[in-house]
A and B are shown apart, each in its own frame.
Chain A
Amino acid sequence: MGYMCNQQTQLLSKIATDNGHGENSPYFDGWKAYDSDPYHRIENPTGVIQMGLAENQLSFDIIEEWLLKNPKASICTVEGMSEFRDIAIYQDYHGLTEFRNAVAKFMGKVRGDRVVYDPNRIIMSGGATGAHELVTFCLADPDDAFLVPTPYYPGFDRDLRWRTGVQLLPVDCESSNDFKITRKALEAAYEKAQEEKIRVKGLLITNPSNPLGTVLDLETLKSIVTFVNEKNIHLISDEIYAGTVFGSPGFISVSEIIEEMECNRDLIHIVYSLSKDMGFPGFRVGIVYSYNDDVVNVGRKMSSFGLVSTQTQHLIASMLSDDEFVENFISKNSEKLSTRYKRFSSGLYKAGIRCLESNAGLFFWMDLRRLLKEPTADAEMALWRLIINKVKLNVSPGLSFHCSEPGWFRVCFANMDDETMEVALERIRSFVRKEVSAKRQRWQDNLKVRLSFGRLDDPHMRSPHSPMPQSPLVRART
């Protein structure tokens, strides 16, 4: 018909044709390997095990049991049908009152009831993905920037930047102090922005951290709050893993800190979701909680672009209003994560693999630096490809999280059953044994491989949380 590609690309917007979605990245290899050869205990026991998805699949049984006992939570059961039309017709962006009440209560319980959340500050959005974008649209103009400590969730590159035009500036954290966020690093990042005439509008932290699995200590939190107050910039605290804390030290939320110190509350905002704590990523329950009235006001209007399905609001409202269920869930969930964590970490330890000590999240931050041929991005990629193709594990390389040092890998442990976990551990053990002896051999043979240092901050890192072009219904195949 004569309508060719070059004319074609001009037809679309800049946003549609740039790579802001972050999916054009070499990290696809891991996903492709999994997709083309997924592990199955019986049907494909030598397939690739998915360890790149931070999902919480350990506590579904508790939820399913509750659902069967509470048919009114669904608008599709005989018992719940009388509510169907009211719920199906309801599109008010305030959300069902009982939904907001229940979410606020859950957030409080996850923090040991040390904080009380106001249901009127709860704003819905399309998953945490939508929540981050919404907050960014509220707080920053195109070309403004947020500071983000590294390593960080790769999806931030898309969620905070793609359609908003806002920039992300890394705040470097290093293994030498367990990747803690230092005042020095914050100041350095802020200064650099000033020099480059970039206006910093805020700081985004993830607490508990993805990919580290650690919680922020009191001192660091206080120092962060002080920092944002001094600079008069916003603080967005992504607390999506708040309910995945399984060991000490306990979790301290920014909501608790602001009760204890002087702080302009108009600067404080929380992003939350039920995707990790409850294991419901499919339900797209994203939440923005802001202490700033104007943000609540405008955010609520913006939420029209990504409201939570009322069918789901109703279900969640029922579930999270049941105090007994919630308390039981939070404690059992934590126990299961702890058990899984201990089994896995002791398995890794026996294999001689170190991980960052952590007490939250759905993953380990594994230290494989000593298995690198040399401390470079290329060496990390090479090791990663080896792990995918030979060990048959899809893990996530640290550089995809903008980690400032190569050799770290994030490995998820809560998205599979016990048997699969054992298989994964065995593969890791066997791999490490071979690698260590091979490396010794290489030293002995005096091989020198000089590879150039790769880009450490490829802006197009793909998010392991984001669905892939051919991503299947990903679930531990048992």
Chain B
Amino acid sequence: MSLSKIATNDMHGEKSAYFDGWKAYDRNPFHPKKNPNGVIQMGLAENQLSFDLIEGWIIKNPVASICTPQGISQFKDVANFQDYHGLAQFRKGVAKFMGKARGDRVKFDPDRIIMAGGATGANEMIMFCLADPGEAFLVPSPYYPAFDRDLRWRTRVKILPVECNKSNNFQITKQALEDAYQKAQEQNIKVKGLIITNPSNPLGTTMKRETLKSLVSFINEKNIHLVADEIYAATVFSSPQFVSVAEVMKEVECNPNLIHIVYSLSKDLGLPGLRVGIVYSYNDDVVSCGRKMSSFGLVSSQTQHLIASMLSDDEFVDNFLVESSKRLGKRHKIFTEGLAEVGIKCLESNAGLFVWMNLQHLLKQHTLEGEMELWHVIIQDVKLNVSPGSSFHSSEPGWFRVCFANMDEDTVHVALNRIKKFVGNSQEEGEAAPAKAKRWKNSNALRLSFSSRIYDETVMAPTMIMSSPHSPMPHSPLVRART
């Protein structure tokens, strides 16, 4: 008996050529002692730099757990609690944390906090609330690959990319938005909203205040929704300061019913396993409906209880935010300076857990094929699993997203050394270019099995959906910096 259409299409995004990187890592994962020549995982945007702060706090606060002798008296009540409003202290703790991550420039209302199954569940849920099947959301590219699945798969909503390119450092322009909107009109596709990620994945940049204001004006004019995925809000490590849509709303004429924020603790706190997804909406109807929908992906009450305790501790939170930011900044500096030493530039960034690395000068051809070729070499020869820009629907080849916060410092240096060596070799070989080209072409490791439809002018072809580096792979191991 057949399954549903949803079950048999490829919208989950995992049938893609980009698996090669993951497979290479899976087969041969780096370990400083056991496998120093293995592939280093630089495709996972995880924040592993501040666990000690959290662990230290937990040990000092046994009441945060319902399993300790100090916390066990709460076990029954918590284990039994399935109210989709969530524990009041949880909502308060999250609302307060969100405010602090924005320097207390904004206050969030705990009653507008809705739980979801991670940001994955949150993004899907907000789509279910705002758009019908066949309707569309505009998404500036490059964007997080799993949006293709999270926003579209079961909702059947369409995504229409808004192209951004390096000419202006990938900023979103009013022109690009208008063009995308117009195109949709011409194709009779109803646009219900715009979804932005700020700070950006994969760019690692925070949006300028002016840009954000212009986006808010745009959506107001068109009477469409704005969903701001602010999952990296507290990963900002240098200026300019993060400006949230929550702040801009106060400065620009805006219908608050159009404004929604998606959030999670996966990046800022480094706790993706705990599945703490949040939808925050200024629209009362969305709050009401979203809350009912949250039943499909509530946060475990055991976890709610832990998070509530942790985030209610102002001293801990204030210290964490400062320290985490410092560590990310330091790591970013080490990495980008190391790259700069060998002439590799990255987009200037001040947030996120990755850099947007420019390897256009290393491409043999300035095409998608060229990028894929280079990518395969990086995986097979340099032994780094990085993410090619095309997987983020980048409109120009040669960019790679490289994560730096999911490993220890030693591993960062190993990775940098490998890159330096590779670039050095490339420069030597640059003189013997034809031979090199032949070598690359003959390499068995290269599998150019993608579709060229990625640059199709029309809506993104479903077969090019990149599986999310954040989403588990079929054989993804317990991925962690192995120290």
- Identify the A interface with B (CB < 8 A): 1, 3, 7-9, 11-17, 21, 23, 55, 57, 60, 63-64, 67-68, 71, 73-74, 76-78, 81, 84-94, 126-127, 129-130, 133, 137-141, 144, 158-159, 162-163, 201, 232-234, 264, 266-267, 275, 279-284, 292, 294-295, 298, 301-302, 304-312, 315, 466-467, 471-475
Other than A67-B67, A94-B472, A127-B295, give 7 A-B pairs with Cβ distance below 8 A: A11-B130, A89-B270, A91-B272, A129-B295, A302-B154, A304-B471, A310-B274
Query: In the assembled complex, which residues on chain B have CB atoms less than 8 Å from the CB atom of A310?
Result: 273-275
Min CB–CB distance A358 → chain B (angstroms): 23
Whether B274 contacts A15 by the Cβ 8 Å rule is no
Whether B118 contacts A12 by the Cβ 8 Å rule is no
Whether B51 contacts A85 by the Cβ 8 Å rule is yes
Whether B7 contacts A88 by the Cβ 8 Å rule is no
Known: A137-B154, A282-B82. A312 touches B300 (CB 8 A): yes
Whether A126 contacts B117 by the Cβ 8 Å rule is yes
Query: In the assembled complex, which residues on chain A have CB atoms less than 8 Å from the CB atom of B175?
Result: none
What total of A-B pairs shows CB separation below 8 Å?
285
Interface residues as binary, B5-49 with A (CB distance below 8 Å gives 1, 0 otherwise): 111100010100000000000000000000000000000001010
Show 5 A/B contacts (Cβ-Cβ < 8 Å), sorted by A: A3-B255, A21-B293, A86-B480, A305-B121, A471-B83
Query: In the assembled complex, which residues on chain B have CB atoms less than 8 Å from the CB atom of A233?
Result: 1
Query: In the assembled complex, which residues on chain B have CB atoms less than 8 Å from the CB atom of A76?
Result: 58, 62, 64-65, 67-68, 306
Among candidates B81, B124, B150, residue contacting A473 with C-beta atoms closer than 8 Å: B81
Query: In the assembled complex, which residues on chain B have CB atoms less than 8 Å from the CB atom of A309?
Result: 273-275, 299-300, 302-303
Q: Does B414 sit within 8 A of A, measured CB to CB? A: no
Whether A139 contacts B81 by the Cβ 8 Å rule is no
Min CB–CB distance A71 → chain B (angstroms): 7
Query: In the assembled complex, which residues on chain A have CB atoms less than 8 Å from the CB atom of B271?
Result: 88-89
Query: In the assembled complex, which residues on chain B have CB atoms less than 8 Å from the CB atom of A295?
Result: 3, 7
Min CB–CB distance B267 → chain A (angstroms): 11
Whether A163 contacts B223 by the Cβ 8 Å rule is no
Among candidates A64, A87, A94, A133, residue contacting B273 with C-beta atoms closer than 8 Å: A87
Whether A466 contacts B79 by the Cβ 8 Å rule is no
Known: A12-B285, A129-B296, A307-B275. A281 touches B55 (CB 8 A): no
In the bound complex, what is the Cα–Cα distance between A159 and B302 (angstroms)?
23
Min CB–CB distance A125 → chain B (angstroms): 8
Question: Which interface residue of B1, B295, B302 has the most chain A CB atoms within 10 A?
Answer: B295
Whether B1 contacts A57 by the Cβ 8 Å rule is no
Min CB–CB distance B416 → chain A (angstroms): 23
Whether A13 contacts B82 by the Cβ 8 Å rule is no
Known: A85-B480, A138-B4, A306-B121. A475 touches B77 (CB 8 A): yes
Nearest first, the 3 closest Cβ-Cβ pairs linking A and B are: A282-B301, A310-B273, A76-B65
Q: B284's closest neighbor in chain A, by CB?
A: A8
Among candidates A13, A141, A305, A471, residue contacting B124 with C-beta atoms closer than 8 Å: A305
Whether B65 contacts A60 by the Cβ 8 Å rule is no
Whether A13 contacts B131 by the Cβ 8 Å rule is yes
Q: A22's closest neighbor in chain B, by CB?
A: B292
In the bound complex, what is the Cα–Cα distance between A221 and B128 (angstroms)?
37
Query: In the assembled complex, which residues on chain B have CB atoms less than 8 Å from the CB atom of A140?
Result: 4
* 8 Å CB interface, B437-483 against A: 470-473, 476-480
Among candidates B128, B283, B298, B477, residue contacting A284 with C-beta atoms closer than 8 Å: B298
Min CB–CB distance A243 → chain B (angstroms): 15
Whether B295 contacts A466 by the Cβ 8 Å rule is yes
Known: A23-B292, A89-B273. A16 touches B129 (CB 8 A): yes
Whether A283 contacts B300 by the Cβ 8 Å rule is yes
Known: A81-B55, A89-B46. A467 touches B273 (CB 8 A): no
Query: In the assembled complex, which residues on chain A have CB atoms less than 8 Å from the CB atom of B129?
Result: 12-13, 15-16
Question: B interface, how many residues as a size bin?
Answer: 35 or more
Q: Does B289 sit within 8 A of A, measured CB to CB? A: yes
Q: Does B321 sit within 8 A of A, measured CB to CB? A: no
Whether B289 contacts A312 by the Cβ 8 Å rule is no
Whether A282 contacts B275 by the Cβ 8 Å rule is no
Query: In the assembled complex, which residues on chain B have CB atoms less than 8 Å from the CB atom of A138?
Result: 3-4, 6-7
Min CB–CB distance A278 → chain B (angstroms): 8
In the bound complex, what is the Cα–Cα distance between A88 and B286 (angstroms)?
30
Min CB–CB distance B56 → chain A (angstroms): 10
Q: A90's closest neighbor in chain B, by CB?
A: B273
Q: Does B171 sit within 8 A of A, measured CB to CB? A: no
Q: Does B258 sit within 8 A of A, measured CB to CB? A: yes
* 8 Å CB interface, B281-340 against A: 283, 285-286, 289, 292-293, 295-303, 306
Whether A78 contacts B59 by the Cβ 8 Å rule is yes
Query: In the assembled complex, which residues on chain A have CB atoms less than 8 Å from the CB atom of B78?
Result: 282
Q: Does B209 sit within 8 A of A, measured CB to CB? A: no
Among candidates B55, B67, B258, B476, residue contacting A73 with C-beta atoms closer than 8 Å: B67
Known: A21-B289, A88-B274, A163-B293. A304 touches B118 (CB 8 A): yes
Among candidates B1, B59, B121, B472, residue contacting A93 with C-beta atoms closer than 8 Å: B472
Query: In the assembled complex, which residues on chain B have CB atoms less than 8 Å from the CB atom of A64?
Result: 72, 75-76
Whether A467 contacts B293 by the Cβ 8 Å rule is no
Q: A21's closest neighbor in chain B, by CB?
A: B292
Min CB–CB distance B320 → chain A (angstroms): 14
Whether B75 contacts A305 by the Cβ 8 Å rule is no
Query: In the assembled complex, which residues on chain A have CB atoms less than 8 Å from the CB atom of B1?
Result: 201, 232-234, 264, 266-267
Whether B124 contacts A14 by the Cβ 8 Å rule is no
Query: In the assembled complex, which residues on chain B have CB atoms less than 8 Å from the CB atom of A84?
Result: 51, 54-55, 58
Query: In the assembled complex, which residues on chain B have CB atoms less than 8 Å from the CB atom of A466?
Result: 84, 292, 295
Query: In the assembled complex, which residues on chain A have CB atoms less than 8 Å from the CB atom of B68?
Result: 71, 74, 76-77
Known: A84-B58, A90-B478, A295-B3. A311 touches B472 (CB 8 A): no
In the bound complex, what is the Cα–Cα distance between A275 and B131 (angstroms)?
32
Q: Does B120 sit within 8 A of A, measured CB to CB? A: yes
Query: In the assembled complex, which residues on chain B have CB atoms less than 8 Å from the CB atom of A144?
Result: 4
Whether B286 contacts A12 by the Cβ 8 Å rule is yes
Whether B75 contacts A60 by the Cβ 8 Å rule is yes
Question: Which interface residue of A17, A21, A162, A309 has the most chain B CB atoms within 10 A?
Answer: A309
Whether B85 contacts A467 by the Cβ 8 Å rule is yes
Interface residues as binary, B168-207 with A (CB distance below 8 Å gives 1, 0 otherwise): 0000000000000000000000001000000000000000
Among candidates B4, B69, B120, residue contacting A139 with C-beta atoms closer than 8 Å: B4
Question: Which interface residue of A77, A162, A284, A308 has the most chain B CB atoms within 10 A?
Answer: A284
Whether A85 contacts B55 by the Cβ 8 Å rule is yes
Q: Does B257 sit within 8 A of A, measured CB to CB? A: yes
Whether B55 contacts A312 by the Cβ 8 Å rule is no
Q: Does B225 sit within 8 A of A, measured CB to CB? A: yes
Known: A85-B55, A126-B297. A14 touches B67 (CB 8 A): no
In the bound complex, what is the Cα–Cα distance between A233 and B3 (angstroms)?
10
Q: Does B425 sit within 8 A of A, measured CB to CB? A: no
Q: Does B381 sit within 8 A of A, measured CB to CB? A: no
Known: A23-B292, A473-B81. A311 touches B7 (CB 8 A): no
Q: B479's closest neighbor in chain A, by CB?
A: A89
Whether A88 contacts B472 by the Cβ 8 Å rule is no
Known: A88-B271, A89-B270. A77 touches B67 (CB 8 A): yes
Query: In the assembled complex, which residues on chain A have CB atoms less than 8 Å from the CB atom of B257?
Result: 3, 8, 11
Q: Does B132 sit within 8 A of A, measured CB to CB? A: yes
In the bound complex, what is the Cα–Cα distance between A23 and B297 (angstroms)?
18
Query: In the assembled complex, which residues on chain A have CB atoms less than 8 Å from the CB atom of B266?
Result: 91
Query: In the assembled complex, which residues on chain A have CB atoms less than 8 Å from the CB atom of B5?
Result: 141
Min CB–CB distance B201 → chain A (angstroms): 16
Q: Does B80 sit within 8 A of A, measured CB to CB? A: yes
Whether B79 contacts A60 by the Cβ 8 Å rule is yes
Query: In the assembled complex, which residues on chain B have CB atoms less than 8 Å from the CB atom of A130?
Result: 117, 295-297
Whether B67 contacts A298 by the Cβ 8 Å rule is no
* 8 Å CB interface, B199-226 against A: 223, 225
Among candidates B82, B285, B297, B303, residue contacting A275 with C-beta atoms closer than 8 Å: B82
Whether A8 contacts B285 by the Cβ 8 Å rule is yes
Query: In the assembled complex, which residues on chain A have CB atoms less than 8 Å from the CB atom of B76?
Result: 57, 60, 64, 475
Among candidates B7, B54, B255, B303, residue contacting A298 with C-beta atoms closer than 8 Å: B7
Whether B128 contacts A163 by the Cβ 8 Å rule is yes
Whether A68 contacts B72 by the Cβ 8 Å rule is yes
